[in-house]
Amino acid sequence: MHSFVWSLLQHPFLQRLRGRVYTTIWRLSRRLGRGEHAARVMPLPFGMYLKRAYPQEVLATQYVREHTTIPVPRIIDVAPFWRAQVYILMTRVPGEELGKSAGHIRNLSPRQLQVLEDTLRDWFGQLRALEPPDPDAVCGFGGNGIKSYRIRHDEYVGPFALQKEFHEELVSGYEATHSVMAAASHSRPHRICFTHGDITPHNILLNEDMRPVGLIDWECAGWLPEYWEYTYALYIRYPRYKEWSDLFTRIFPQYGVELEVEYELWEIAAPW
């Protein structure tokens, strides 16, 4: 019975119908003053959210929910939105963004900071223990491209059959001036690991005791070189946000060379 209902819901007509319903809900919610003007996430009653995103986020969120103990949203429904984008109806993960609840990492007590560090280390360890579909390919689910605001703002790049191709993308247009410098990192062998790809103070949720209780926004997740989780977490924030940088350096102490190379490339990167 369950499989029959599910297959029925996947009928193109019913998918389009649900998409129109969600568009109506979105517009009505906007008129009622809910959600920020440019935001792609709309809070709804009954502890739910409606998000405009790409199917890759659905696949990543489901994958993490099924293969780890990391608290992530539960996907309730997916329906067409516009072009390749979809509406995602999902549950709200209890908690508040680290950037809002704590304000700044320096406001956490030593005990709270240690709990944050230990929890994040465990979560990343679970992600990095997952087996990649290909030991050298940099890609999203199903061999599709990856999304990274560090590389191309709001666009997918790749997939890349080899890490070498991915690293060539990072210096594309600046080979003459930056290839030798980048080789210090890019010539090193790196494992391919499942990566959230957008770790920010807005995507880590804390409870009232400042304990991590959720990790959200998996739109940039995919299979990337093992250092990428660390260097992207520090993107834009290193070195000026010292406490944040120190936290992730304690979790990932082995990627100093990779960070320095990325820091140099950030100076020339133009994701927009």
Claim to verify: residue 19 and residue 48 sit in the same structural domain: yes
Claim to verify: residue 86 and residue 120 sit in the same structural domain: no
Q: Is position 271 within any domain?
A: no
What pLDDT is attached to residue 37? 55
DSSP state of 195: E
Contact 205, 215 (CB under 8 A): yes
Claim to verify: residue 247 and residue 228 sit in the same structural domain: yes
Claim to verify: residue 84 and residue 110 sit in the same structural domain: no
With CA atoms as reference, report the closest residue to 68 among 221, 201, 211: 221
What pLDDT is attached to residue 124? 98
Q: Is position 25 within any domain?
A: yes
How many Cα atoms are found within 13 Å in the side-chain-facing hemisphere of 115? 12
What pLDDT is attached to residue 262? 96
Kindly report the CATH number assigned to the domain that includes residue 124: 3.90.1200.10
Contact 78, 88 (CB under 8 A): yes
What pLDDT is attached to residue 34? 80
Using CA atoms, how far apart are residues 224 and 160, in angstroms rounded to an integer?
Answer: 10
Residue 62 amino acid letter: Q
What pLDDT is attached to residue 271? 61
Residue 8 amino acid letter: L
With CA atoms as reference, report the closest residue to 83 among 62, 55, 108: 55
User: Which of 44, 66, 91 is at the close of a domain?
Assistant: 91
Contacts of 103 (CB under 8 A, 6+ apart): none
Say how many domains are in the chain. Answer: 2
CA angle 230/231/237 to nearest 5° reads: 105
Claim to verify: residue 130 and residue 236 sit in the same structural domain: yes
Claim to verify: residue 111 and residue 220 sit in the same structural domain: yes
Claim to verify: residue 251 and residue 119 sit in the same structural domain: yes
Q: Is position 219 within any domain?
A: yes
> What is the chain's alpha carbon radius of gyration, rounded to the nearest angstrom?
20
Query: pLDDT digit of tens for each residue in the chain (272 aa)?
Result: 345 334 445 778 788 899 999 999 999 998 888 876 557 899 999 999 999 999 999 999 999 999 999 999 999 999 999 888 999 999 999 999 998 877 788 899 999 999 999 999 999 999 999 999 999 999 998 789 999 999 987 789 999 999 999 999 999 988 888 999 999 999 999 999 999 999 999 999 999 999 999 999 999 999 999 999 999 999 989 989 999 999 999 999 999 999 999 999 998 876 65
Q: Is position 213 within any domain?
A: yes
Claim to verify: residue 86 and residue 106 sit in the same structural domain: no
Runs of H (alpha helix) within 91-220: 98-101, 110-128, 163-170, 175-186
Q: Is position 243 within any domain?
A: yes
Claim to verify: residue 74 and residue 7 sit in the same structural domain: yes
User: Which of 91, 124, 152 is at the close of a domain?
Assistant: 91
Which pTM was predicted?
A: 0.91
Q: Is position 272 within any domain?
A: no
Using CA atoms, how far apart are residues 228 and 251, in angstroms rounded to an integer?
Answer: 13
Q: Hey, how many other C-beta atoms are within 10 angstroms of the C-beta on 63?
A: 17
